Structures are given as C-alpha cells and as structure tokens.
C-alpha cells in the first residue's frame, strides 16, 4: 500500500471508528446508568418549570423517560392475562395512560432529588434468559437511609435495552399495578375501556 493510500485509509478509519464505538451494543447496566444520568440531568434542567409550568415540566420528563421505558411492555405486564382479551388499540391506550400517570408520579418525586448517593450493585444471579429479562440493581443512600431500586430490562428488536418493570424497596411495580387493574376490571364488569378511562 503506497503512502497516499495509507493516508486515505487512515482518514477513513478515523472517521468511522467513533461511529463504530457508538454503535457497539451497551450492556443492560451501562444502558440503565446512562438513562438514569440523563434523566436526572433533565430533571435538574426542568426543575424551575415545576412551580411555574407543570405541564411543560411533565412533558419534558415524559419525553426523557420514553427514551428508555417501553410502556407497551409495561402495559402488557400489568394487564397480564387480561391483555389476551384486549385489542391492540386498548393495549396501546393503556400504555399511554401508564406513561402519563407514571410520568406525573415519578416526575413529582424526582423534583425532590437532591443529589443523594446512587450506587450500582452486582446482580444477585445470572438470569436464565438475559435477552428477555436482566435485572439492574441500584441503591440510593441518604444519610442512614438506604433504598434499593431494581430495573428489569430487556433487549428490543433494535437491540436496545429497555425497561419493562421496576422494583422499589422490594415492591414489584407490575404486581402492584396488576392488583389495581384486576380490581378495576371487577368493578367495571370486565370492561377494559372503562378500566383504562378510570385508571389513576
């Protein structure tokens, strides 16, 4: 290879390698860490709006959360067997309702975040199917108080890690919400549209 070809080859490599690095698949822990870091930075940026324009604040938080949470998967997990009698439109409508209610709940909670220590913990066990579900454990420390947070992540069709369930202090969010969904189904005579409309 002559000198000119070497120079051109080096220039092409120097241009492509950064993109190759960006395209490299992140681990579940790296994805979760990036997502949390970006979310907390967005909360810091939007915090002044919480008192002056809550709708703008929640819209920004929802946009950020939607980059790493697959709300359709969350909805399917909450609905469980009830999803089998639901149309695609109903599943998507419930996913949108969950997105709105979770954004408002966690957006209101995150605005109080004051830089408490966040530590990533080693996995307790190797998952049997790491592409279907991998748990990422975190611990938030404030003074003498420690709370464990656990993300259940999965690889979507685009090979991106997305969150589909959350444990807070050992409480399974999907199970808690399933209990609420089942109670509403009982109250509204198994009318899924009514359940979605009355979900809070």
**Residues 69-122: tens digit of each pLDDT:** 999 999 999 999 999 999 999 999 999 999 999 999 888 888 887 777 888 887
Q: Is the pLDDT of residue 198 over 70?
A: yes
Does 84 fall in a domain?
Answer: yes
Neighbours of 136 (CB within 10 A): 23
Distance, CA of 102 to chain centre: 10
Does 119 fall in a domain?
Answer: yes
Does 7 fall in a domain?
Answer: no
Does 101 fall in a domain?
Answer: yes
**Residues 147-170: tens digit of each pLDDT:** 888 999 999 999 899 999 999 888
Domains in the chain: how many in total?
1
- Structural domain for 187, as ranges: 27-198
Does 14 fall in a domain?
Answer: no
Does 20 fall in a domain?
Answer: no
Mean pLDDT of 20-43: 79
**CATH assignment at residue 142:** 3.10.450.710
Does 16 fall in a domain?
Answer: no
Does 64 fall in a domain?
Answer: yes
């Amino acid at each position: 290879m002559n000198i000119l070809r070497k120079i051109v080859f080096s220039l092409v490599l120097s241009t492509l390698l950064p993109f190759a690095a960006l395209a490299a698949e992140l681990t579940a822990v790296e994805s979760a860490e990036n997502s949390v870091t970006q979310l907390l930075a967005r909360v810091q940026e939007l915090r002044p709006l919480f008192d002056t324009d809550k709708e703008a604040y929640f819209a920004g938080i929802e946009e950020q959360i939607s980059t790493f949470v697959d709300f359709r998967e969350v909805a399917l997990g909450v609905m469980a067997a009830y999803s089998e009698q639901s149309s695609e439109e109903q599943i998507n409508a419930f996913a949108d309702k969950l997105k709105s209610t979770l954004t408002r709940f966690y957006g209101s909670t995150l605005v109080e975040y004051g830089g408490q220590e966040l530590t990533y913990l080693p996995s307790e066990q190797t998952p049997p199917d790491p592409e279907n579900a991998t748990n990422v454990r975190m611990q938030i420390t404030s003074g003498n108080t420690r709370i464990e947070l656990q993300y259940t992540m999965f690889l979507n069709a685009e090979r991106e890690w997305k969150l589909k369930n959350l444990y807070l202090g050992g409480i399974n969010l999907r199970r808690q919400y399933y209990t609420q969904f089942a109670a509403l189904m009982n109250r509204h005579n198994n009318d899924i549209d009514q359940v979605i409309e009355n979900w809070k």
